[in-house]
Structure 1
Amino acid sequence: MASPSFKDLDLPGVIDTASTNFIDEFYVPMLSRSTTYKRGVGFFSSSWVESAARGIAELAENGGKSKWLTSPILDETSLEGLKKGDEAKRDEKLKESLESSIDDLEQSLAEETQNALAWLIADGLIELRFAVPDNGLSGEFHDKWGIFYDADGNKVAFHGSQNDSLHAQRNYESYDVFCDWRNDTDAERVEKHEERFDRMWAGEMPNVSVYSIPSGIRRELIDLRTTDDRPYELSDGAGNESNSIVLRDYQREAVDSWFANGKRGLFEMATGTGKTFTALGALDELLSTNDEPIFIVISVPMRHLAPQWADSLADFGLKSPTYCYGSRNPNWYEDLQNAVSSFEHGFSNLEIIITTHVTGAKEKFRSQVSNIDGQTLILADEVHNLGSEYLKKGLMPAYDFRLGLSATPERYYDEEGSKFLLRYFDGTVYKYTLADAIPEYLSEYKYYPRIVEMMPEELEEYREYTHRIIKLQNDDEDDEEVLERLLQKRAQILKSAENKFSELQDITRSIDVDHLLVYTNHEQIDEVQKILTDEGIIQHRFTATEGDDEREQLLNSFAGGRYDALVAMKCLDEGVDVPSTRQAILMSNSKNPMQFVQRRGRVLRKDPDSNVDYAEIYDMIVVPTMNPDAELLESERNIIRKELDRFEEFVENAKNERSARMAIQRIRTEYQV
């Protein structure tokens, strides 16, 4: 049965209290169809809470969450203290001001509403933050607007004069209502209101400061509960209810192996074989068989992977996570404190935190998590990154249960880091290779190596660096720093070979471009985009400079066919689900197998909406020249060998292995490798 949609409702462009009961005819129908609700409004007061709690309980029944921005009631002294104080003083000023409101709530609210509010906050289904105008503004935060989201991705925004209070229901008030599917003007208005809320929630709005609710106040609100029974059904789960998801046989083996190893271990699984799904299967089983409260930290290498993990948690019916890293949540430290506090005071028997490897290694993060009194688990995605000197700090001894995921857990040229990861996670407990997964679970693919030679002037410069390198290597007092710099400059000539651009043109002209990824580097990306555009290919760059929301939109547009191609640098290497990809052109590669194995994996995920039998990978292999003299033959042989390591990794499981090997045979002959 399809989820109820906003489109089922006949929503006028303007509603008013003279002809519409806002609660029964607007809020309840909208909230009962919503998965997320964002609201900015008036004051934190008993009448505000009464209306909010009643409405949000409807949302909770639907498995949704809400975010509320409101103005705290502050006298002038408290307001100035809030604006000027450091973190501890700021929380104290806010706490002092809000404590009287807590007393008011307890006296004024009906027990049913009081319990609803307390349980909603305890379950993390309603988040409160307080907005205070400052700098160029004075007075109060007095705006009133909101955005609803349904399961189909439809959005409705409203803006008007009404506060969420019983008194406001008696006034003549009105809302403008905007539906993003109605027309371009409405869609633009929805986007503006959404952007305004998100910027303010993140503390990015000039002249408005935003404060998280102090942990002490949160506990006092939760303590308003007078019953152990929720006044609604918690449909987004305490994490231990059964679900209909069934693991594949090999995923089931991986989970069993992890349990047999004392709930510790590494999953070494080929990209695209469902590492995330398998890990959450282990998590789900742990929660269903474990009677103890547990605090879970999911650590990801890049921030744009966090929403994918949150979506996967929802697929398993697991509790919605708290995002704890700066770009997504500037108040992450306060939210982490609140999560730890709720867990340790027994308000919650399950907390799930999603952080990044960098944030998880910070002392502020570690100090909160390391002293938790209760069971803890670390789930580390793309775990090979965590072997570095700084990031390994995030792998604390305090974690009771440990699960690491990677297609390539061994660190390239870092034996010590690799050994550390194996020790910390107590070994690799399950391995599933690309050959194991093709063709049942991953797409078959054809591999086309394309030989690219240097231009004459590039070759001349390359030879010059080679002479200097050889001379320095033969010097008994060689300067390692100078040598390293020369090697890097010579390698850059290979990476930036001009003939790659003409090769790109040849490839795109010889194929029907269909969901193409082009991997390039910083120096090439502008020219690559120009070439694709000149060839009539609709493309967009996908780099570290795009924000989380824009990246998600780009991936959706790419999957839907709005863009023929994405031009990516490193940020599409790890963990991003792009199952719609059918073709890839590798213009820039490192010799690190972690990178090129991940890039291949982006192309091999099966897309249920595609009828294409196999994927296509075009790989540019750069050589100085196909007619090397004795000097080049001697100096380049080892470099060519390393370049062909990638070729061997790719060709081994290709449908066209024989013809692909024939395509590079001349390199082997000329360079005697």
Structure 2
Amino acid sequence: MYSIYLQSAVVARQAIDSVIITATGTDLLDQWTNQLYAVASNLTPKFRVLKHYETHHEKDEYELDPENSVLVVSRNLLRNMLRSLTRPTRKHLLLIHDEVHGLGSPANIEELEGLSEDIAYRLGLSATPEREYDEEGTAFIERNVGLVIYRFSLEDAIRRGILCEFDYYSVEYELSDEDRQRIKNVYSLRAARQTEGRPMSQEEFWTALARVHKISRTKLPYFKELLDQHPEILERCLVFVEDRQYGEEVINIIHHYRYDFHTYYAEDDRQKLVDFVNGEISCLITCHRISQGIDIQSLRSVVLFSSARSKLETIQRMGRCLRKDPANPSKRAVVVDFIRVQDEDTEKLNADQIRKEWLTSLSKICQKVT
């Protein structure tokens, strides 16, 4: 919403007469569109809101008359949109990239390099603007959008009462013999690929190892134990799993505590998200579909069966439940995280233990009373 107010300010100064907002995912694009309608109609002059994503195809209408228009466009359709912009349009255009860290993917680097040149105003929004372990992607964002000009940390947001305080449940688990065999298989595969002359990249190798941890079934009984003590965790809750198969095993546990749950995977009906927002469903089991951007103020808990090594994904996911809820001023969020036990033969903390230290520290932050 802050970017919408910024848009209003630069329109009032007559610095721009056209806006393009781009993001990934129909849910997030719809959220932008719905929030823009009221704002655009109150601008002077009034702006119209056009959409170019999913079943909406209003790019041509924007190109014919971009003045006093806001176009909300999917990032995967952005290339042709930027290529079609005339020089006069670029001189008075504000381009907003939501969840800008996603802009630095290899595919976007290839498709979008240099296409933002001469655009008067470029703004990137993200809780995690830098791409961890990806210097090339971060550099691309800096070239095509710009450097970070303002930071507002999670810590500051909680202290200022912009995000709510939260309780952190770190659930430790050990790998099973089956998990350890899968890890050995990953190492064997890497050796075989090396012998064949087609070695695994470091990214492939670490992704394969991480998947073993993400789908470890030893987490499941600990989850049940936690719910026995705190069944309220499933009220207004998102459960993040690695894949549908693992999600089915999680569902087998959840159904003992609640009936009002559903999955929300890529192939599931968007109506399920609407039902969740409206309170008709209390718990959603999902993978990556709603990790970023979506504003569900009543969401109270997130359960992280699957967590990435980088902070980016964790911040995005837990950020869903830290948002303030006007209907519940005393809201306190809950984050449940599964942590692999520390190896006895090494002093260096594993990635899970590092995340545990960070989130434990974050959970101790209290809002400052003014």
Q: TM-score, normalised by structure 2?
A: 0.85
Q: Which residue is equivalent to 1:418? A: 138
Equivalent residue letter for 2:200 = E
The 5-angstrom pairing of residues 153-172 of structure 1 reads none
Q: Which residue is equivalent to 1:409? A: 129
Q: Which residue is equivalent to 1:391? A: 108
2:82 maps to which of 366, 374, 389: 366
| CA distance in structure 2 between the partners assigned to 1:370 and 1:450 by the alignment | 55
| CA distance in structure 2 between the partners assigned to 1:442 and 1:370 by the alignment | 41
2:253 is equivalent to residue 531 of structure 1? yes
- In structure 2, the CA distance between the partners of 1:568 and 1:370, relative to structure 1 (3 Å rule), is farther
2:331 is equivalent to residue 622 of structure 1? no
1:596 maps to which of 314, 333, 337: 314
- Residue 378 of structure 1 deviates from its aligned partner by 0.7
| CA distance in structure 2 between the partners assigned to 1:527 and 1:451 by the alignment | 19
| CA distance in structure 1 between the partners assigned to 2:189 and 2:266 by the alignment | 35
2:55 is equivalent to residue 328 of structure 1? yes
Deviations 1:589-632 (A, max 9, x none): 11122111101101100111125441111101134xx775xxxx
Equivalent residue letter for 1:323 = K
Q: Which residue is equivalent to 1:382? A: 99
| CA distance in structure 1 between the partners assigned to 2:51 and 2:135 by the alignment | 32
- Residue 585 of structure 1 deviates from its aligned partner by 0.9
- Residue 321 of structure 1 deviates from its aligned partner by 1.7
| CA distance in structure 1 between the partners assigned to 2:259 and 2:365 by the alignment | 27
2:6 is equivalent to residue 279 of structure 1? no
- Residue 476 of structure 1 deviates from its aligned partner by 11
Q: Which residue is equivalent to 1:491? A: 210
| CA distance in structure 1 between the partners assigned to 2:179 and 2:362 by the alignment | 34
| CA distance in structure 1 between the partners assigned to 2:6 and 2:204 by the alignment | 46
| CA distance in structure 2 between the partners assigned to 1:438 and 1:355 by the alignment | 32
Equivalent residue letter for 1:528 = V
- In structure 2, the CA distance between the partners of 1:448 and 1:336, relative to structure 1 (3 Å rule), is same
1:448 maps to which of 169, 172, 191: 169
| CA distance in structure 1 between the partners assigned to 2:167 and 2:104 by the alignment | 33
Say whether the 8 Å CA contact 2:33–2:49 is kept in structure 1. Answer: yes
- Residue 467 of structure 1 deviates from its aligned partner by 7.2
Q: Percent of aligned pairs with the same residue?
A: 24
Say whether the 8 Å CA contact 2:340–2:353 is kept in structure 1. Answer: no
Equivalent residue letter for 1:541 = T
Q: Which residue is equivalent to 2:357? A: 648
1:311 maps to which of 34, 46, 49: 34
- Residue 339 of structure 1 deviates from its aligned partner by 1.8
- Residue 555 of structure 1 deviates from its aligned partner by 3.6
Say whether the 8 Å CA contact 2:303–2:335 is kept in structure 1. Answer: yes
- Residue 492 of structure 1 deviates from its aligned partner by 2.4
- Residue 647 of structure 1 deviates from its aligned partner by 2.1
Q: Which residue is equivalent to 1:180? A: none
Task: State the SS of the aligned residue for 1:352.
Answer: strand
- Residue 396 of structure 1 deviates from its aligned partner by 1.8
Gaps of 5+ in 1: 1-276, 344-348, 658-673
- Residue 415 of structure 1 deviates from its aligned partner by 0.8
- In structure 2, the CA distance between the partners of 1:588 and 1:563, relative to structure 1 (3 Å rule), is same
- Residue 468 of structure 1 deviates from its aligned partner by 7.3
| CA distance in structure 1 between the partners assigned to 2:121 and 2:337 by the alignment | 40
Say whether the 8 Å CA contact 1:310–1:320 is kept in structure 2. Answer: no
Say whether the 8 Å CA contact 1:370–1:399 is kept in structure 2. Answer: no
Deviations 1:50-83 (A, max 9, x none): xxxxxxxxxxxxxxxxxxxxxxxxxxxxxxxxxx
User: Which structure is richer in relative contact order (CA contacts within 8 A, separation 6 or more)?
Assistant: 2
Equivalent residue letter for 1:411 = R
Equivalent residue letter for 1:648 = E
- Residue 417 of structure 1 deviates from its aligned partner by 1.8
Task: State the SS of the aligned residue for 2:84.
Answer: helix
Aligned residues: 353
| CA distance in structure 2 between the partners assigned to 1:368 and 1:321 by the alignment | 19
Task: State the SS of the aligned residue for 2:5.
Answer: helix
- In structure 2, the CA distance between the partners of 1:509 and 1:559, relative to structure 1 (3 Å rule), is farther
Q: TM-score, normalised by structure 1?
A: 0.48
- In structure 2, the CA distance between the partners of 1:377 and 1:491, relative to structure 1 (3 Å rule), is same
| CA distance in structure 1 between the partners assigned to 2:171 and 2:217 by the alignment | 14
1:519 maps to which of 235, 240, 258: 240
Say whether the 8 Å CA contact 1:497–1:622 is kept in structure 2. Answer: no
The 5-angstrom pairing of residues 567-578 of structure 1 reads 567-578=285-296
| CA distance in structure 1 between the partners assigned to 2:50 and 2:203 by the alignment | 43
- Residue 499 of structure 1 deviates from its aligned partner by 1.4
- Residue 651 of structure 1 deviates from its aligned partner by 1.9
Say whether the 8 Å CA contact 1:313–1:320 is kept in structure 2. Answer: no
Task: State the SS of the aligned residue for 1:534.
Answer: coil
Equivalent residue letter for 2:84 = Q
| CA distance in structure 1 between the partners assigned to 2:150 and 2:202 by the alignment | 41
Task: State the SS of the aligned residue for 2:200.
Answer: helix
| CA distance in structure 2 between the partners assigned to 1:643 and 1:537 by the alignment | 31
- Residue 389 of structure 1 deviates from its aligned partner by 3.3
- Residue 428 of structure 1 deviates from its aligned partner by 1.3
Task: State the SS of the aligned residue for 2:106.
Answer: coil
The 5-angstrom pairing of residues 530-569 of structure 1 reads 530-546=252-268, 550-551=269-270, 553-569=271-287
- Residue 479 of structure 1 deviates from its aligned partner by 5.6
Q: Which residue is equivalent to 1:238? A: none
